[in-house]
Amino acid sequence: MFGWRKRNHGFEWREYVRTTILLRRRNRRERVERAAHAAVDGLKVAGQRGAAAGAAGAEVVGRGAKVAGHRGAAMGVAGAQALGRGAKVAAHRGVALSAVGLRAAGAGLRAGLPKVWAALEVFGRGIAKALAVVWAGLCGVTLRLAELLAPVAATGWRGLQPMLCKLRRPGIAIVLALIAGVAFVGSFRRIAANGFDGSIFIALLIGTLIACALLAAWLADGPPAWLAALLRGTGRGAAGLAGAVGSIGPSGATLARGAAVLALLAVVAGAGWLVWRAAAALPSLASFTQGAPAIEGRAIALSGDTLRIAKKTVRISGIEAPEREQTCRTASARRWRCGASAKSALARLVRRRNVTCVVSGSDDRGIALGNCRIGKTDIAAELVRNGHVFATPGFFAPYGSLEEEARKAKSGLWEGEATRPSDYRAQRWEEAKREAPEGCPIKGNVSRGRRVYVLPWSSEYERVRISSRRGERWFCSEAEALAAGWQPSDQS
């Protein structure tokens, strides 16, 4: 029973099934290939027929477009001709209307100008009469005051005669003229550099009073012949001008006086402008003259107002920095090291930059004083403006107005309480003087074979102990220490 499947009765059913499947697959492939060939042939025929139809349609469209183009061109030419004729007609009508309008405007202007001129004439006469009344009133008041003050002026003039005689002496006059000149030049220079402030006003007032006194002394015995002739010529010219203007109308004299006042104001304004321009150039002329020695190079800040450039020490003129160990108070009464801060500010300003210092002299210790700049930037002005240092006091201090600006802005030192370096040094001097032998507070120290003196406000003053066995001693003044051959300490 289990073996009957293995019997062979002459029919191979497995071969039959496999052959049938293979035949069916081949038939399906053949049908698919025939369908694909038929589709390709159909597409080819359809493409050929579509191309033929497209060519025919394009030909028809081309013929229609050509006809439409000819008709459109003809219509465009006709429209352009019609538009040109319309524009020509409109232009002719516009020109005609413009001509009519211009003629009407000209007629109105010719009719209105006399009225405007008459109104201006009435207005001018009113102004002239008002000015004449004011001028007459001023002249009357002036004459009345002159009559009242004449006796007093005569008495005062007689009293001033001895002083004016002294002022006419050449020696006194030259000295006073130099003082007035310095006052004016210094004031204008400071105004050009940093603006106007109260000290400049005082200096200008002093210079003006001295100049007026010298002028009064010079004219005490009457003006010189050349000045009298000039005044007479000027008077005749003014009278002639007044007469010429007066012939124009009733207000001519008033107009002449007004013109004379305006001319005088113009002359004064022109002179002031010239002086201002000259004063603006004074700082550069005074600081950067060809003969002034200059030190140039990379700089190192030794303190808030002292630099070392090319192995030379230069102190910046016009400012004074807090001492290195000096402290200041903020608005909240907190102490901060304003001296160290000033040094840091100067170091930041000159770091990796080329600095030029024009030397103008030296201080009492022999250190060079100079006007230092980085390009066109004034180092001293930057330090004062930001409240890092003080401006040197005095009428002709170049940075006084910048210090006032920093004070109002409460910048840097002016945030709280700040003590000027001179006051701080005086305070420390008195404190050290009370404890020093014989009241001589300067310590002469011998360090590494160098003899240096240390001042009471130096950072190393408290550390130094005087030993007479090493040849150390006390000094009562810097001049005494320098005369003995001692040099200032690097920290002093």
Question: Which pLDDT belongs to residue 223?
Answer: 57
- Name residues whose C-beta falls within 8 Å of residue 170's C-beta, 6 or more positions apart in sequence: none
For a pLDDT cut of 70, what percent of the chain falls above it? 59
Residue 450 lies in a domain: yes
Question: Which pLDDT belongs to residue 398?
Answer: 81
474, 442 Cβ separation under 8 angstroms: yes
- Identify the helix (H) or strand (E) that includes residue 233: helix 225-246
Q: In the predicted model, is pLDDT for residue 291 greater than 70?
A: no
Residue 223 lies in a domain: yes
Q: In the predicted model, is pLDDT for residue 251 greater than 60?
A: no
| Residue 449 banded pLDDT, cuts 50, 70, 90 | confident
**Rounded distance between C-alpha atoms, residue 299 and residue 343, angstroms:** 13
Other C-beta atoms closer than 10 Å to the C-beta of 439 total 12
Domain co-membership, 158 together with 283: yes
More confident residue, 223 or 375: 375
Reference 460, options 343, 323, 300; nearest CA is 323
**Rounded distance between C-alpha atoms, residue 142 and residue 132, angstroms:** 15
Instruction: Write out the residue range of the structural domain in which residue 354 sits.
Output: 294-419
Domain co-membership, 174 together with 236: yes
- pLDDT tens-digit map of 408-421: 999 999 988 888 99
Domain co-membership, 184 together with 265: yes
Domain co-membership, 415 together with 429: no
352, 343 Cβ separation under 8 angstroms: no
Domain co-membership, 300 together with 404: yes
227, 320 Cβ separation under 8 angstroms: no
More confident residue, 363 or 196: 363
| Residue 374 banded pLDDT, cuts 50, 70, 90 | very high
Residue found by looking up tokens 């004063």 in the block? 279
3-state secondary structure labels for all residues of 267-326: HHHHHHHHHHHHHHHHHHHHHCCCCCCEEEEEEEECCCCEEEECCEEEEECCEECCCCCC
Domain co-membership, 415 together with 430: no
Domain co-membership, 281 together with 162: yes
Domain co-membership, 170 together with 185: yes
**CATH number of the domain residue 346 falls in:** 2.40.50.90
- The tokens for 309 are 């450039």
Residue 29 lies in a domain: no
Q: What's the length of the chain? A: 492
Residue 140 lies in a domain: no
More confident residue, 187 or 155: 187
Counts for the chain of helices (H) and strands (E), in that order = 10, 14
Question: Which pLDDT belongs to residue 211?
Answer: 79
How many domains would you assign to the chain? 3
Question: Which pLDDT belongs to residue 285?
Answer: 42
- The tokens for 362 are 């030296």
More confident residue, 8 or 172: 172
Question: Which pLDDT belongs to residue 297?
Answer: 93
Side-chain-facing half-sphere of 207: CA atoms under 13 Å? 19
* Residue 456, Cβ density class (10 Å: 0-12 exposed, 13-18 middle, ≥19 buried): buried
CA torsion sign, 137 to 143 to 147 to 152? positive
More confident residue, 277 or 418: 418
333, 388 Cβ separation under 8 angstroms: no
- Name residues whose C-beta falls within 8 Å of residue 222's C-beta, 6 or more positions apart in sequence: 228
481, 444 Cβ separation under 8 angstroms: yes
In this predicted structure, which of 273-287, 302-316, 351-365 has the lowest mean pLDDT? 273-287
- pLDDT tens-digit map of 219-229: 665 556 655 56
| Residue 313 banded pLDDT, cuts 50, 70, 90 | very high
DSSP assignments along 346-385, one per residue: HHHHHTTSEEEEEEEEE-TTS-EEEEEEETTEEHHHHHHH
Question: Which pLDDT belongs to residue 161?
Answer: 62
Question: Which pLDDT belongs to residue 89?
Answer: 67
User: To 10 degrees, what angle do helices 170-194 and 252-287 make?
Assistant: 80
**Rounded distance between C-alpha atoms, residue 344 and residue 245, angstroms:** 70
Question: Which pLDDT belongs to residue 430?
Answer: 92
Question: Which pLDDT belongs to residue 232?
Answer: 59
Phi, psi of 291 (to 5 degrees): -85, -10
Out of 390, 419, 448, pick the residue that ends a domain.
Answer: 419
Ramachandran quadrant class, 463 (left: phi over 0; alpha: psi -120 to 50; beta: rest): alpha
In this predicted structure, which of 102-111, 273-282, 374-383 has the lowest mean pLDDT? 273-282
Please compute the mean of the pLDDT values over residues 82-107 and round it to a whole number.
66
Domain co-membership, 234 together with 313: no
Domain co-membership, 406 together with 429: no
Out of 419, 435, 452, pick the residue that ends a domain.
Answer: 419
Question: Which pLDDT belongs to residue 286?
Answer: 45
Q: In the predicted model, is pLDDT for residue 267 greater than 90?
A: no
Reference 343, options 384, 302, 297, 387; nearest CA is 302
Instruction: Tell me the average pLDDT of the chain.
Output: 74
More confident residue, 64 or 334: 334
Q: In the predicted model, is pLDDT for residue 380 greater than 60?
A: yes
Out of 287, 308, 330, pick the residue that ends a domain.
Answer: 287
Residue 333 lies in a domain: yes
Question: Which pLDDT belongs to residue 234?
Answer: 55
More confident residue, 244 or 419: 419
Q: Is the pTM of this model over 0.75?
A: no
306, 316 Cβ separation under 8 angstroms: yes
